[in-house]
Structure 1
Amino acid sequence: MHSKELIKPDGRHLTLYSNQPIPDGLIAPSPFPDPMNANPHLRWHPLRGEWVTYAGFRQNRTFQPPPQYNPLAVTTDPANPTELPQGDYEVAVFDNRFPSLALESHDPPALSTVPTAPANGHCEVVVFTQDPNAALVHLPLSRIELLFKVWADRTTRIGGTHHIQYVLPFENRGSEVGVTLHHPHGQIYAYPFVPQVPERMLAQEREYYLQHGTSLLCDMASKEAEDGRRVLYQDEHAIAFVPACARYPYEVWVMPTAPCKDFASLSDEQRPALARALKTVLLKYEKMWDRPFPYLMAWYQAPTDGAGHPETQLHAQF
C-alpha cells in the first residue's frame, strides 16, 4: 500500500492511499478558506450511564447538495475547490470539517445538573472512490482489501494518540439512514472512551473467554457454519451470516473465522477472504430489491489500549 500525506489550506490533514505509487505534486484543496473552529463537548447521561456528544456547529454541515456541488468529488475548477485533488489515487481520508469529536476540544460548559467534559476524539471521512456514481458494492475486491489496509493504518495512527481508547470505522448508505452526501464514503470515529455498545460486547466476550478460553464470536461463527441455514458466505478464512439472535430484519455479521482482534491483525489469507465475504453480502443486499439497499455497516475491533485482547474478534455488523 502506498500513501501520501497533505495539509489542506484550512489546516486539516488529507491522506491519499493506493495500491500503486501516488505521483508527487498533488495539492490538497479545501472548500473552506478559514481554519476549522470545532469545539464539541460531552455531557454525562446519569440514567443511561454514558456520555452524550454535543456539537452545535454541525448544523452548518453540507446537506444533500446537487451533483454539481459534490464536495467529495475531485476538484476540476481551482476557483471552486472541493475536498479532493485530481490525481492517481484510490482512497482518500481527511479530517471531518464538522466533527462530533475533536482532539483540540477544550473548556466545556459548566452545568449544574450533569458533568461535562471536552469531546477529545477525532472524526475522519473516508472516500472509497473518485467515482461519485459508484458504491462500495461496485468496487473490485482489490479496492476492498485496500480499504481494510486503510482502516488498519488509521486505527494504528489515531489509536496511538494517548487518550484515544476506541476507533470505529463505519458506513451509512442511503437517505433512509440519514446520509447527507451520496458520494461513496464512510467515516471513522475515534473516542476518548470505549462507547457503551462495544463496551458491553467486550464485557461479554471477556467473560466468555475467561470461562472457555476461546473467542465467543469465533465459536458462534463455527456453530452457525455447522447449522448452515443462515450462512451467506463461508470459506476457510471468513464467514458472513445472519445471527440467530438478529435484532433487525436483514441483519448480517461478517468476520474472519480465526481469532483476529483488529484490522492491523488481519493475515494475508484473511484479508482477501474477508473482502470476498463483505462483497458477497453487499451484492445480496443490492439484488434484494429493485433499488440501492440502505444500510449501516459498523466494524467493531479491540480497544486501542495496547493490550492483547485475545477475547475480542474483529467483525462487521449490518
Structure 2
Amino acid sequence: MNMQHDAKPHRRRNPLTGEWLLLSPQRTQRPWQGKVEDGTVRLRPEHDEGCYLCPGNTRMQGQVNPDYPYTYVFDNDFSALNDCAKYWKCDEDGLFQSESSDGTCRVICFSRRHDLTLAEMDHLALTKVVEVWKSQTAELEQKYRWVQVFENKGEIMGCSNPHPHGQIWASDFIPQEPAKEEKCQAEYLQQYGRNLLLTYIEKELEKDERIVAVNEQWVCLVPYWAIWPFETLLVPRRHTLRMSGIDAAQRDGLAAIMKELLVRYDNLFNTSFPYSMGWHGAPMGDGDSDHWQLHAHYYPPLLRSADIKKFMVGYEMLGCPQRDILPEQAAEMIRSQSLIHYKQLKE
C-alpha cells in the first residue's frame, strides 16, 4: 500500500462490479452531531412466548412451529415472490417494461434459543446452519436460476424479529447485484485467464494488509474496495462455485471462521453488531460457470460506535459511494479484537 497516496482523497475500483468509490480519510476527525442510534444491549429470554419463530409457538397465520432442536426452515408467511402460473412480458417504447417473476421465499431459524446470535453459538450449532444453507441451496437451484441466502441482523437493519434467523429468496431471474458480478468475473477470466476472486485472495494473503481471519479453507478480509466502514468479504480458498458444492472440511472451516468474524464484530463496540450479509454463488444455467467463485458479503452499518451509523445519502445516492476510514484501518480494528466474546469476559 502506498501510504502517501492512500492518506489523501482517492478512488478505488471494485473489480466484482466495475463500480468506483471515493475514499476521504481526512474526514475521520469531523464532529458528529447527527442521528444517534440506541445501542443498548437488551437481555432476551431463551424462549419468548410472543415470538412467532420460537419452537412450539403459533405464527401469524395459524401455523404451529415444531419443537425443533437446531434449525428450522419454513415458507415465508409473507413471501415477496411466489409461483407464476404463466410467464408474461410487456414493453412499451422501451420506457415501460415489465415481466412476470417466479420464485419462493423461506425463513431459516438458526437456533431454537431466542436469546442467541450466530456470534454466540457453538461450533456444532454453526455447522447446522451451514448445512441448512447447503441443503436449501441444493434443493432450490434445481428449479430456480438464482438462490439468495441472506441475513439481516439487528433492528437498525430492518430485522422484524430478534430471534436468530435468516432468509432464502429463490427466483427465475438473476438480480442486478449478482448480474454485475457475473459480467465482471466472466470478463476477468477472458482477459487474464484466471479466476478473479481466487487471484484476488492470493494477492491479499501476500500483502497481508486487509486480512481479518484465515484458516485452511477460508479467507475473511476487508476488501480493497469496501464501501461500508467495516464491510468484509468471505471466500473459500479453493475453487467453489456454489454453497451446494462445499464439502465437510469447508463446512467446518466456514463455521470456525464465521465464529471468529462475528465475535470480533461484537467486540468492536461491545454490542450485538448489526449487519446485512448474503451469499453469492454461480447462477444456474446452461453456460460455463468457471469464472465464478462462491463468496459472502457482510455489510455492517456502524461507523464510529454502537450508536453512530454510516448513512448512504446525498453524494452517495447521487454520485458514488464514499468512505472515511481506510479499509486497511478497518481490517486492523476488527483483527485486533479478542476471540472471546465480550459477554463472556463480563461473566
Task: Give the TM-score band, short-chain normalised.
Answer: 0.7 to 0.9
Structure 1 position 302, deviation (Å): 0.9
Per the alignment, do residues 289 and 102 of structure 1 end up closer, same or farther by CA in structure 2, a change over 3 Å counting? same
Match of 1:262 in 2: 242
Match of 2:116 in 1: 134
Per the alignment, do residues 207 and 184 of structure 1 end up closer, same or farther by CA in structure 2, a change over 3 Å counting? same
Structure 1 position 269, deviation (Å): 2.2
Answering whether residue 66 of structure 2 is matched by residue 85 of structure 1, we say: yes
Contact 1:238-1:273 within 8 A present in 2 as well: yes
The 1-side partners of 2:85 and 2:259 are apart by: 38
1:74 to 46, 49, 55: 55
Structure 1 position 136, deviation (Å): 1.0
Match of 1:17 in 2: none
The 2-side partners of 1:305 and 1:107 are apart by: 18
Which amino acid is the alignment partner of residue 260 of structure 1? Answer: T
Higher mean Cα deviation, 279-288 or 107-116?
Answer: 107-116
Larger proportion of helix: 2
Per the alignment, do residues 96 and 223 of structure 1 end up closer, same or farther by CA in structure 2, a change over 3 Å counting? same
Answering whether residue 103 of structure 2 is matched by residue 121 of structure 1, we say: yes
- Residues 183-204 of structure 1 show CA distances to partners (whole Å, capped at 9, x for unaligned) of 0000001011111110111111
2:128 to 146, 149, 152: 146
- Residues 283-310 of structure 1 show CA distances to partners (whole Å, capped at 9, x for unaligned) of 1111011221110011111112265511
- Residues 225-258 of structure 1 show CA distances to partners (whole Å, capped at 9, x for unaligned) of 1111211111222110001111111000011111
Contact 1:70-1:82 within 8 A present in 2 as well: no
TM-score, reference length from structure 1: 0.72
Which amino acid is the alignment partner of residue 282 of structure 1? Answer: L
Per the alignment, do residues 300 and 107 of structure 1 end up closer, same or farther by CA in structure 2, a change over 3 Å counting? closer
What is the aligned-residue RMSD (CA, Å)?
A: 2.5
TM-score, reference length from structure 2: 0.66
Contact 2:150-2:167 within 8 A present in 1 as well: yes
- Residues 151-188 of structure 1 show CA distances to partners (whole Å, capped at 9, x for unaligned) of 12111211111xx2100100000111111111000000
Contact 1:73-1:84 within 8 A present in 2 as well: yes
Contact 2:149-2:166 within 8 A present in 1 as well: yes
Match of 1:34 in 2: none
Q: How does 1:5-154 map to 2 (within 5 A)?
A: 67-75=48-56, 83-87=64-68, 89-104=69-84, 114-154=96-136
Structure 1 position 69, deviation (Å): 1.7
Which amino acid is the alignment partner of residue 56 of structure 2? Answer: T
Contact 1:72-1:83 within 8 A present in 2 as well: no
Higher mean Cα deviation, 94-103 or 112-121?
Answer: 112-121
Match of 1:214 in 2: 194
SS in 2 for 1:115: strand
Contact 2:49-2:57 within 8 A present in 1 as well: no
Instruction: Give runs of ≥4 in structure 1 deviating > 4 Å.
Output: 80-83, 104-113
Per the alignment, do residues 269 and 114 of structure 1 end up closer, same or farther by CA in structure 2, a change over 3 Å counting? same
SS in 1 for 2:113: coil
Match of 1:192 in 2: 172
- Which of the pair has the greater relative contact order for Cα pairs under 8 Å at 6+ separation? 2
Aligned length: 249
Higher mean Cα deviation, 276-285 or 100-109?
Answer: 100-109
The 1-side partners of 2:198 and 2:58 are apart by: 50
Match of 2:139 in 1: 157
